[in-house]
């Protein structure tokens, strides 16, 4: 499990003292090689935090030796001074590990608009470096937790005639799921032998159908980062497609864990849109539904309110998603409560109480494309956690 499941990686998680709670708050993941391939995807938010600005540049050459991650502060909206703090963090990790700072990525999560306690952070790096271990994955996964109630870890091993290779990963957050603490951070590792270009393409492909399809409140963090490190330590080569497939399994597993642990949620909701003309059309309709506060509050109230679902779908412009409103079927947990845009089966047959997981299936009857997006319901706890957070 976790980032130390593949060969060639050591990790550590320690208490640097950034969190008032005194819980672990600094993680270090080191790629011992023999190869040091790295790739990453970042938040699309234009207000990107200092560590995102740094890491985006550092990963540009496809070489990454280590990732340092801290909870207890996002280092976002902190200006040139905040960027200098990130730079100094990377320099310090580079010195301690005897690698170039330009090959060190930095990830931060926590409050926006406040400087980090740099003495504490740098001391934590020293502690973490001495604690690095091939079995340190779990400790690292613990140190990046914010409002997460459990660690998120996953791994998969692939075998071929030439041998086997593994993908492991850890996650916290996510930005869209636990927005009070603003950030989804993910580190995925593999001991497969991969080209840098393949690593980049495979990570983007996997993220597109996993992390980009969980959407709790439509908010986009300033710090979201997904990193892939490849050590080549298995000696087994993986091509782009094989790597993408294994990454999709691990990232999909992590994404589902994020939904299951989302702040204040009472239900996990899988919105599947089928019968769309294109995948983009299906995605646009699914996002309109997953971002509707009315749908999300209805599910919280155990109310199979298909009218709100249909009305959300109707907000998508026809040029984006062609379909006839009068042709749409909506099923909630298997009961087709809306048929042909009107009343379908008896809504009292829908059971929303027995399970946390809710399935909403929308058939547009306009084509062959289908997409699933996960979200959560909108609850009193969500309002409480997000209104009581920073003051």
Backbone angles phi, psi at 147, to 5 degrees: -90, 5
Separation of alpha carbons 16 and 367, rounded Å: 54
Residue number, 8 or 304, with CB nearest to its own copies: 304
Annotated ligand binding at 81? The verdict is: no
Annotated ligand binding at 172? The verdict is: yes
Name which position in 303, 345, 351, 357 contacts its own copies (CB under 8 A): 303
183 catalytic residue (yes or no): yes
Among the residue ranges 13-21, 190-198, 274-282, 313-321, the one whose residues contact its own copies (CB under 8 A): 313-321
Closest to 185 (Cα-Cα) out of 59, 70, 317, 64 = 70
At 130, list the tokens.
């001495």
Window 66-125: residues binding its own copies (CB under 8 A): 74, 76-79, 82, 111-114
Per the CB < 8 A criterion, the answer to whether 275 and 230 are in contact is no
140-161 as b/e: b if 16+ CB within 10 A: bbbbbbbbbeebbbbbbebeee
User: In terms of C-beta density within 10 A (0-12 exposed, 13-18 middle, 19 or more buried), how is residue 36 classed?
Assistant: buried
Annotated ligand binding at 146? The verdict is: yes
Separation of alpha carbons 160 and 166, rounded Å: 12
Name which position in 257, 272, 302, 372 contacts its own copies (CB under 8 A): 302
User: Binding-site residue total for its own copies (CB under 8 A)?
Assistant: 66
Residue 298 interacts with its own copies (CB under 8 A): yes or no? yes
Annotated ligand binding at 305? The verdict is: no
Window 317-336: residues binding its own copies (CB under 8 A): 317-318, 325-326
Annotated ligand binding at 263? The verdict is: yes
Per the CB < 8 A criterion, the answer to whether 76 and 113 are in contact is yes
CA dihedral 132, 137, 139, 145 (to 10 degrees): 130
Name which position in 310, 362, 366, 373 contacts its own copies (CB under 8 A): 310
Closest to 337 (Cα-Cα) out of 310, 316, 369 = 310
Among 109, 147, 183, 225, the active-site one is: 183
Window 34-53: residues binding its own copies (CB under 8 A): 44-48
Name which position in 9, 54, 211, 300 contacts its own copies (CB under 8 A): 300
Among the residue ranges 146-154, 246-254, 356-364, 379-387, the one whose residues contact its own copies (CB under 8 A): 379-387
At 169, list the tokens.
């990963």
DSSP, residue by residue, 234-260: T--B--HHHHHHHHHHHHHHHHHHHHH
Name which position in 308, 329, 360, 362 contacts its own copies (CB under 8 A): 308
Closest to 169 (Cα-Cα) out of 146, 152, 194 = 152
Annotated ligand binding at 248? The verdict is: no
Min CB(277)–its own copies separation in Å: 14
Residue number, 359 or 389, with CB nearest to its own copies: 389
Could you list the residues known to form a binding site, using ranges.
146, 172, 183, 263, 386, 391
- Could you list the residues that contact its own copies (CB under 8 A)? 44-48, 74, 76-79, 82, 111-114, 179-180, 182, 217-222, 291-294, 297-298, 300-303, 305-308, 310-318, 325-326, 338, 340-343, 378-380, 382-384, 386-391
Q: What residues are annotated to the active site?
A: 183
Could you list the residues known to form a binding site for substrate, using ranges.
146, 172, 183, 263, 386, 391
């Amino acid at each position: 499990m976790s980032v130390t499941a593949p060969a060639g990686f050591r990790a550590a998680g320690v208490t640097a003292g950034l969190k008032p709670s005194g819980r672990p708050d600094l993680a270090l993941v080191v790629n011992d090689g023999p190869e040091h391939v790295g790739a990453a995807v970042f938040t699309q938010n234009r207000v990107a935090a200092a560590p995102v600005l740094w890491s985006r540049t550092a990963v540009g050459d496809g070489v990454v030796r280590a990732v340092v991650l801290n909870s207890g502060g996002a280092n976002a909206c902190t200006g040139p001074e905040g960027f200098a703090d990130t730079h100094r963090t990377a320099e310090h990790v580079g010195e301690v590990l005897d690698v170039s700072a330009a090959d060190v990525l930095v990830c931060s999560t926590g409050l926006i608009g406040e400087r980090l306690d740099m003495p504490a952070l740098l001391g934590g790096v020293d502690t973490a470096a001495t604690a690095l271990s091939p079995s340190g994955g779990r400790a690292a996964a613990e140190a990046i937790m914010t409002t997460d109630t459990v660690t998120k870890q996953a791994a998969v091993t692939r075998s071929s005639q030439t041998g086997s290779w593994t993908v492991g990963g850890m996650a916290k957050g996510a930005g869209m799921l636990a927005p009070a603490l603003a950030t989804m951070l993910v580190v995925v590792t593999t001991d497969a032998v991969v080209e840098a270009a393949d690593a980049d393409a495979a990570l983007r492909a996997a993220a597109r159908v996993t992390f980009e399809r969980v959407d709790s409140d439509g908010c986009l963090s300033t710090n979201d980062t997904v990193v892939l490190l490849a050590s080549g330590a298995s000696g087994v080569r993986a091509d782009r497609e094989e790597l993408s497939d294994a990454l999709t399994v691990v990232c999909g597993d992590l994404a589902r864990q994020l939904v299951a642990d989302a702040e204040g949620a009472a239900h996990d909701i899988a919105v599947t849109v089928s019968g769309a003309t294109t995948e983009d059309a299906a995605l646009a309709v699914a996002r309109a539904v997953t971002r509707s506060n009315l749908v999300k509050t209805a599910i919280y109230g155990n109310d199979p309110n298909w009218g709100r679902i249909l009305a959300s779908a109707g907000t998508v412009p026809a040029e984006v998603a062609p379909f006839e409103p009068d042709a749409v079927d909506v099923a909630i947990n298997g009961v087709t409560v809306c048929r042909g845009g009107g009343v379908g089966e008896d809504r009292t047959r829908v059971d929303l109480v027995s399970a946390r997981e809710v399935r909403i299936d929308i058939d547009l009857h306009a084509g062959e494309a289908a997409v699933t997006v996960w979200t959560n319901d909108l609850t009193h706890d969500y309002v409480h956690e997000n209104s009581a957070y920073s003051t």
